[in-house]
C-alpha cells in the first residue's frame, strides 16, 4: 500500500478535511480527533465517565475532610501522644490533608475546569490537579497505607498501640490508612492526568519527604519523643537505614504511579507527548 493510500485511509478514519501529506500531519490529525472525542465525554458531558468521577470525588471530599477534622479534634492518651505540634507531627494526618485537598481540587475541576483527555489549553486548576496527584497524592497515600499495615502486621505497638483502641474509632483508622489507597487507585483508573517531567515530579516529592524527616527531628529535639514508637527501638545506624529505605520506597511509588498512568492511559499519554513536541 503506497503512502498516499495510507494517508488517505488515516484521514478517512480520523475525519480530516484533507488527506495528510506527512507523518506530522497524521499525528496532528489524530490529536485533533482525540480532543474531539474527549470533549464529547469530558467534564460537560452527562455520560457515565463523568458520573463515576463525580461520585468518586464527592465521596472522597466528604470522608477525607470529615476524617481530617475528626482526627484533629480527637483526644489521645498522654501516654502515647505528646502535645507538641499536635496531629501535624503524623505523616498520616498530613497525608489525609493532601487527599482532602486533592479531591476538593478535583471536584472544582469537574465543574469549572476540564476533564478532557488531552485539552488544548488546560486551565490552571487542571494543571494543579494533575501535579498534585502525580507528585504527592498518589505516592504519599500508597506509602502511608503500605507502611502502616506492614508494621501493624509485624507489631502493632510500633505504629498503633492497643491503648488507642478505646478512643480511636476503627472507621477512622480505615479512612486514614485503607481508604486513602483504595480511592487513589480508583482515581488512577478513572481520571487521566498528565505527569510532569520525572525530574520535576521527583524533586517535588523529595522536598516534601525530606522536609517531613527534618520536621520529625525537630519534634524529637523539643519534645524528646519520637513521633513513631518504631523509631524508639532503632539505633542511630538502623534509623538512618530506615529513613533511606522510606525515601527510596516513596520514590519507587512515584515511578509506579507514572508507570500505571502510562499503561492505563497509553493512548492519551502518546497523544499528549506528540502535542508537546
Residue 153, C-alpha cell as written in the block = 502486621
For 219-247, the pLDDT digits (tens) are 999 999 999 989 999 999 999 999 999 99
The CA radius of gyration of the chain, in Å to the nearest whole number, is 23
* N- to C-terminal Cα separation, the chain: 28
Q: How many CB atoms lie within 10 A of CB 160?
A: 21
Cα 205 from Cα 241, distance rounded (Å): 19
CB-based burial label for 201 (10 Å; 0-12, 13-18, 19+) = buried
Which pLDDT score is estimated for 9? Answer: 40
Angle at 117 between CA 187 and CA 61, to 5 degrees: 30
Which pLDDT score is estimated for 38? Answer: 45
Q: Which residues of the chain have pLDDT under 70?
A: 1-46, 275-277
Which pLDDT score is estimated for 18? Answer: 52
Which pLDDT score is estimated for 30? Answer: 52
Nearest C-alpha neighbor of 109 from the set 134, 126, 127: 126
pTM of the predicted model, to two decimals? 0.83
Which pLDDT score is estimated for 275? Answer: 66
Q: What is the DSSP letter of 277?
A: -
Helix axes 138-155, 236-264, angle to 10 degrees: 130
Q: How many CB atoms lie within 10 A of CB 96?
A: 29
Which pLDDT score is estimated for 277? Answer: 59
CA-to-CA dists, residue 210 to 39, 138, 159, 243, angstroms: 40, 17, 20, 9
Half-sphere exposure of 20 (CA within 13 A, CB side): 21
Q: Give the total residue count for the chain.
A: 277
Which pLDDT score is estimated for 11? Answer: 42
Amino acid at each position: 500500500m503506497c503512502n498516499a493510500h495510507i494517508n488517505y485511509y488515516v484521514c478517512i478514519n480520523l475525519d480530516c478535511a484533507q488527506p495528510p501529506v506527512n507523518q506530522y500531519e497524521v499525528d496532528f490529525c489524530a490529536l485533533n480527533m482525540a480532543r474531539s472525542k474527549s470533549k464529547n465525554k469530558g467534564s460537560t458531558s452527562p455520560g457515565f465517565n463523568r458520573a463515576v468521577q463525580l461520585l468518586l470525588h464527592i465521596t472522597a471530599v466528604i470522608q477525607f475532610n470529615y476524617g481530617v477534622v475528626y482526627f484533629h479534634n480527637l483526644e489521645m492518651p498522654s501516654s502515647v501522644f505528646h502535645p507538641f505540634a499536635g496531629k501535624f507531627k503524623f505523616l498520616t494526618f498530613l497525608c489525609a490533608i493532601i487527599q482532602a485537598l486533592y479531591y476538593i481540587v478535583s471536584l472544582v475541576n469537574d465543574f469549572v475546569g476540564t476533564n478532557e483527555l488531552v485539552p488544548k489549553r488546560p486551565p490552571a486548576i487542571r494543571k494543579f490537579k494533575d501535579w498534585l496527584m502525580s507528585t504527592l497524592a498518589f505516592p504519599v497515600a500508597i506509602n502511608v497505607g503500605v507502611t502502616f499495615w506492614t508494621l501493624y502486621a509485624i507489631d502493632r505497638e510500633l505504629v498503633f498501640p492497643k491503648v488507642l483502641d478505646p478512643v480511636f474509632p476503627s472507621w477512622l483508622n480505615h479512612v486514614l490508612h485503607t481508604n486513602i489507597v483504595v480511592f487513589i487507585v480508583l482515581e488512577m483508573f478513572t481520571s487521566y492526568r498528565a505527569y510532569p517531567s520525572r525530574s520535576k515530579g521527583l524533586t517535588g516529592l523529595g522536598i516534601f519527604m525530606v522536609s517531613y524527616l527534618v520536621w520529625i527531628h525537630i519534634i524529637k529535639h523539643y519534645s524528646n519523643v519520637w513521633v513513631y514508637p518504631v523509631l524508639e527501638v532503632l539505633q542511630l545506624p538502623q534509623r538512618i537505614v530506615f529513613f533511606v529505605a522510606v525515601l527510596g520506597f516513596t520514590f519507587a511509588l512515584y515511578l509506579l504511579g507514572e508507570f500505571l498512568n502510562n499503561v492505563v492511559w497509553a493512548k492519551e499519554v502518546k497523544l499528549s507527548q506528540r502535542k508537546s513536541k
